[in-house]
Structure 1
């Protein structure tokens, strides 16, 4: 029997949730506010919160100095491309592990996840040399490949978890009705796992969108996404806080809006199968 939750405890939990949420959101709020300040106001001590002259000058300067929309398009192609390619590879792999499990399935999953524990800088030199020799430096294709490989363990782990919640009897019934392996995966398995696939897709787009290490080291100008666009406002002469904040706001705005509108789908997918 479930234990009743008192109104007082609900109020405390709500308050704690709001405090944590505001602490997490505060850096974003401060960045947005700073983007509307002049450089002098941005570095004022003590900080000026709202009582300042709001200006769009930083946004105009950022757009004049660098082509925002080119970087934005590069980010869209790289994040969506790497996620779609990862799903194409991960769906059959997760299906095999979920419905044709072997004795070493868990060991294989742990091995794949362990690749995320390696510091990226540890493999930077060999990957850089491979990309240079193969002509993939500063190309969107090269970044799609490397980000696919980086996020593939997470994609497989998430899909494996969702697929395990689907009764195998349903797939067996489809085979008895004459469905081959391709039809079983496309017309039976995938429609039943739509919430999990959607949340996996959204989460990995966010991870690829925010990836900075590889995008800064494997691009120069042609394929540079928004992470490189932000880094360009850090120079040896110093940090231009207002312009840097404007660039950061322009970079995070698209993914923030996408996350806001897809939060229900994301939560639904991440809790898929949690309630029996």
Structure 2
């Protein structure tokens, strides 16, 4: 029998959720507000909250100084390309682990996850040399491959979890009807796991979009995404907080909009199979 939840309990849980949400969102809110301040107001002590002289000057200066559209386009290609390439590899890999019995499946999954525990700087030097050797330094192709590889373990883990929730009898019935491996994955498994696949795609886009370590070390100018665009506003003369905030707001705006409009799908996918 389900346990009833009192109105007071619901109100308390809602209040706690709002407090946590506001605390998490506060840095983003402060960055957006600072982007509309003058440099003097940005470093004022005590800080200026809402009552200041709102200005778009920082955005004008940022747009004049940098080609924002080029950085944006690089981010779209790198994040989208790494996601598509990763899904092409992750879906068959997760299918084989979920539906082909093996005593080594858990060991393989743990090994893949352990690669995320390795500090990225530990493999920077060999990857940098490989990129120079094959002419991939400061190219979109090189960054797409690297970001796909570093996010691939998470993609496989997520898809494996979603695929395990699908009854194997459905796939067996498809095989009895003459479905081959390709048809089984494309026309049976994939449509049933759409929520999980969608959430995996969205999460990978966010991770690739926000990746800074590899983009700053493997690019210079041609393939630089928005993370490099933000870093360019750190100069030897010091930080110009208002202009840096404007650049940061322009960089995070696309992913914030994407997350806002896809939040229902993301939550649905992340909770897929959580309730029986």
Gaps of 5+ in 1: none
Task: Tell me, in whole angstroms, the C-alpha distance in 1 between the residues paired with 2:122 and 2:80.
Answer: 26
Q: Deviations over 1:137-181 (max 9, x none)?
A: 000000000000000000000000000011111111111111111
Task: Tell me, in whole angstroms, the C-alpha distance in 2 between the residues paired with 1:85 and 1:230.
Answer: 26
Q: Deviations over 1:103-128 (max 9, x none)?
A: 01000000000000000001010000
Segments of 4+ in structure 1 off by > 3 A? Answer: none
| Counterpart position of 2:18 | 18
| Counterpart position of 2:144 | 144
Using the size of structure 1 for normalisation, the TM-score is: 0.99
| Counterpart position of 1:3 | 3
Q: Does 1:89 align with 2:89?
A: yes
Using the size of structure 2 for normalisation, the TM-score is: 0.99
| Counterpart position of 1:272 | 272
| Counterpart position of 2:121 | 121
| Counterpart position of 2:109 | 109
Task: Tell me, in whole angstroms, the C-alpha distance in 1 between the residues paired with 2:167 and 2:87.
Answer: 21
Q: Does 1:98 align with 2:88?
A: no
Q: Deviations over 1:5-40 (max 9, x none)?
A: 111111111111111100001001100000001101
Task: Tell me, in whole angstroms, the C-alpha distance in 2 between the residues paired with 1:74 and 1:217.
Answer: 15
Task: Tell me, in whole angstroms, the C-alpha distance in 1 between the residues paired with 2:21 and 2:95.
Answer: 36
Q: Name the SS of the counterpart of 2:51 in structure 1.
A: coil
Alignment of 1:144-183 (within 5 A): 144-183=144-183
Task: Tell me, in whole angstroms, the C-alpha distance in 2 between the residues paired with 1:17 and 1:95.
Answer: 36
Task: Tell me, in whole angstroms, the C-alpha distance in 2 between the residues paired with 1:12 and 1:188.
Answer: 43
1:77 Cα deviation from its structure 2 partner = 0.3
Task: Tell me, in whole angstroms, the C-alpha distance in 1 between the residues paired with 2:272 and 2:37.
Answer: 43
| Counterpart position of 1:247 | 247
Alignment length (residue pairs) = 276
Alignment of 1:39-78 (within 5 A): 39-78=39-78
Task: Tell me, in whole angstroms, the C-alpha distance in 2 between the residues paired with 1:206 and 1:125.
Answer: 26
Q: Name the SS of the counterpart of 1:27 in structure 2.
A: helix
Q: Deviations over 1:208-257 (max 9, x none)?
A: 00000000000000000000000000111100000000000000000000
Task: Tell me, in whole angstroms, the C-alpha distance in 1 between the residues paired with 2:105 and 2:157.
Answer: 11
Alignment of 1:180-191 (within 5 A): 180-191=180-191
Q: Deviations over 1:247-272 (max 9, x none)?
A: 00000000000000000000000111
1:51 Cα deviation from its structure 2 partner = 1.2
Task: Tell me, in whole angstroms, the C-alpha distance in 2 between the residues paired with 1:125 and 1:236.
Answer: 26
Task: Tell me, in whole angstroms, the C-alpha distance in 2 between the residues paired with 1:262 and 1:212.
Answer: 23
Gaps of 5+ in 2: none
1:4 Cα deviation from its structure 2 partner = 1.1
Q: Deviations over 1:55-101 (max 9, x none)?
A: 10000100110100000000000001001100000111000000002
Q: Does 1:207 align with 2:207?
A: yes
